[in-house]
Every structure is written in C-alpha cells, then in structure tokens.
Amino acid sequence: MVNQLAVVGGGVIGLSVAWRAAAAGYDVTVIDRSPGCGASWVAGGMLAPVTEAWPGEEAALHLGEESLRRWPAFAAALAEDGGDPGLSTTGTVVVALDRGDADQLGVLADYLRTVGREVESVTGRQLRSLEPGVSGVRALLVPGDLAVDNRKLLRSLQAAAIRHGVKFVDDDATEVETGRVRTVSGEVPCEVAVIAAGARSARLHPALAVRPLKGEILRLRARRTSLPPPSRTVRAVVEGRPIYLVPRAGGELVLGATQYEAGFDETVSARGVRELLEGAERIFPSIDEYELVETAAGLRAASVDTLPFIGELGEGVFAATGHHRNGLLMAPVTADAIVAWLDGAAPPPHVEAAHPHRLGAK
Ligand code: GLY
C-alpha cells in the first residue's frame, strides 16, 4: 500500500491529482514554486472535446469526453471541499465568417456525425437571435462543450488540497527517481512520484516528449455602453487561426488564444494582441468598446499526437502531463486514473491510449 505521494507541479493537473489522492487518504506533497499559476492560470477554461476534435484525433476525443462526463461530479465535490469552480453549462457555438469557413464547418460537422456526435447547424440569422452581436454566415451549436472559470478552479483546488492535508514545497524539481524527487535545495522522499510539470516535464523524464506551445490571451470587460458578452463560448477560425471568446460571470470575457512554437518565451507580443483583437472584432464587433483588463501568455504542454501522457513511467514514477490544449478538460480523468493506480484498481476507460510509452521512448 502506497502512502507517500509526491506531485511535481501545482497547475490544474498536479492540484487535481493531489486533492483527489489526499481525499482518498494518501499523504501528498506538491512541489512547485508558484502553485496555481502557469498555463492553467492563463487558460480560457473551455471543456470542449467536441469542438477541439479533428479527424485522426479520435483517441483524444474519447478521452476528453470521458473526462467531460466526470466534470459535473468533480465540480460538485470541489464546491464542497474548496469552493465553487464556476462550471458554466451554456455550451459552445462554432461560427463560420464566410463561405470558406462554412465549408470547413461542414467538414467538422460531417466528421462529428460519422463518429456519432450530433451537432445542430444554424443560419447566420438564427445565430444572431441566439447570440446578439455575434456575426457569422453559419454556425454549429454544441451544447455539450462546457467551460469553467480557470482561476476560481485553481483557487478552489488549492483550498481543497490544503483542507485534505496536502503539503506544499516551494522549490523546483530537478530529477525524479524511484523513491524521491530531487529539488534545487534538497529532496522529497516518496513511494510514488507523479510528474505533472506541464511544459517543463521533458526535463524530468526522457519518455516525456512534451514541448512548450505558447498561447496568449486577453481578458476584457463589458462597459455600460457595450453589448454584454455572448452567453455561450464562441469559437471561429479567422485567417486560419483558431480563436475563442469565453464569457465569465460578471461581464468578463476571455479572448484566446494564439499558438506559437516559441520555446519557453512567455512574453505577450504586440502581434499576439493585434491578431486576437482583429480576429475577435470580426466575430463580435462590440468587443472594440470593451475595457482591456489583462494580457497574459502561458505555455501549453504539447505532445506530437495531441494526447497527454498518463501512466506509469517506471517503478514508482507516473506521468500526468502533456495535455496539449486540454489540461482543464482532462483534469478529472487524469486525477481519477492516478488514484485508481495507487489503489490498485483499473483506470477509467480510454486512458490506456495516453500511455507514456506509446511513442516508443522509455
Ligand atoms: N484550450 C484552448 C487553448 O489551448 O488555447
């Protein structure tokens, strides 16, 4: 029976694993200099396996849907243990701005139908009556793709972890091996270590082919003179770039996200801000009147096949990382998988596809 668990990384995945494991009775330590920050703090908060889906990525779709099914219970348990994470169930709409986009949307809709997901196609006029101020010639309604307030979520996870006795070590992990995690200023002994260090995971194990994929977001707020934000998450592709507007309670809107291979660069560039604003005003022109509250950049933990790495790397060392564009979505299934392995039980369905050795590296 494992008792001591060390979790390397205090983002949404590390905190979820730590909370669920501590709630299940394990003695848990999280190693992170700034828990609750990083990519999870910058995220848009979409829980969107269907609108992130693309032909050839069925394993990610199935795993994402498995996690989405777990989200309502996860959020309810978290509300009891640490605070309401702000799960929004208003759904998602994917907008086509012109005929070319409408063709692309048709490809997505056909694909989703072939894998058995029903989506509703609406006209531009129907879209405007559902979401005043949102432009488009056609749209797909995807009511099952949800969203969460990433910042409330992180605060709730930290509170829930503390409530269940999770300890936090303010340090950087340098090496993970059976029985301990070495850090810059010492080591943390453990029976099991979980690497949940996001874009920095590759430094901790050779099998973790994770690279940073920079994303910039803007946070905006409606003013008295502007239209309120759309009620649903609105997604589109503008000039080949995916863009989304995710409403938050209280008139805020998260506008994301750029996507660049830029190493570990986390600066917000003028180009990123321009691209996001130019894209957003094509979809929701009223955004020009909004107050610009914040710009931020984060590093997604990208994998070559868009699937995460969840599973045993070696004796007493597990991976829970590489969630690409889907970290918040996949937090519940990842935490449940780790706790199942600790308990000696079977992991949730579809997790096997995310085995960390699937790409051949050991
Ligand atoms: N999940 C959306 C993104 O990574 O930008």
Calculate mean pLDDT across residues 215-225: 96
Q: Taking residues 291-305, what's their average pLDDT?
A: 97
**Residue 2 CA, ligand 1 centroid: distance in Å:** 35
- Residue 361: phi and psi, rounded to 5, are -80, 145
For residue 327 and ligand 1, the question of a CB distance below 6 A is answered with no
pLDDT at 87: 98
Torsion of CA 60, 11, 16, 72, to 10 degrees: -60
pLDDT higher than threshold 80 for residue 1: no
Beta bridge partners of 6: 29, 193
CB 197 within 8 A of CB 38: no
70-105: pLDDT as tens digits: 999 999 999 999 999 999 999 999 999 998 888 888
Average pLDDT over residues 319-339: 97
Domains and CATH numbers, the chain: 4-82+149-210+305-354 (3.50.50.60), 89-145+212-302 (3.30.9.10)
pTM to 2 decimals?
Answer: 0.96
What percent helix, strand, coil does the chain show, rounded to 5?
35, 30, 35
pLDDT digits (tens, 9 = 90+) for 158-216: 999 999 999 999 999 999 999 999 999 999 999 999 999 999 999 999 999 999 999 99
112 has pLDDT over 90? no
Strand ranges of the sheet holding 146-148, from the earlier edge strand across to the other edge: 46-47, 146-148, 87-88
The per-residue pLDDT for 67 is 98
Sign of dihedral through CA atoms 256, 356, 36, 204? Answer: negative
Q: pLDDT tens digits, residue range 56-71?
A: 889 999 999 999 999 9
3-state SS class at 92: strand
Note whether 53 and 63 are within 8 A (CB): no
Ligand 1 centroid–CA 48 distance in Å is 9
CA of 337 to the centre of ligand 1 (A): 23
Calculate mean pLDDT across residues 241-269: 96
The secondary structure of 206-270 as a DSSP string is TT---EEEEEEEEEEE--TTSPPPPSSEEEEEETTEEEEEEEETTTEEEEE---B--TT--PPPH
Rounded to a whole number of angstroms, the CA Rg of the chain reads 20
- Res. 349 pLDDT band, cuts 50 70 90: very high
257 lines ligand 1 (CB under 6 A): yes
Residue 14, SS3 per DSSP: helix
Per-residue model confidence (pLDDT) at position 118: 75
Q: Report phi then psi at 75, rounded to 5.
A: -65, -40
Q: Is the CB of 325 under 6 A from ligand 1?
A: yes
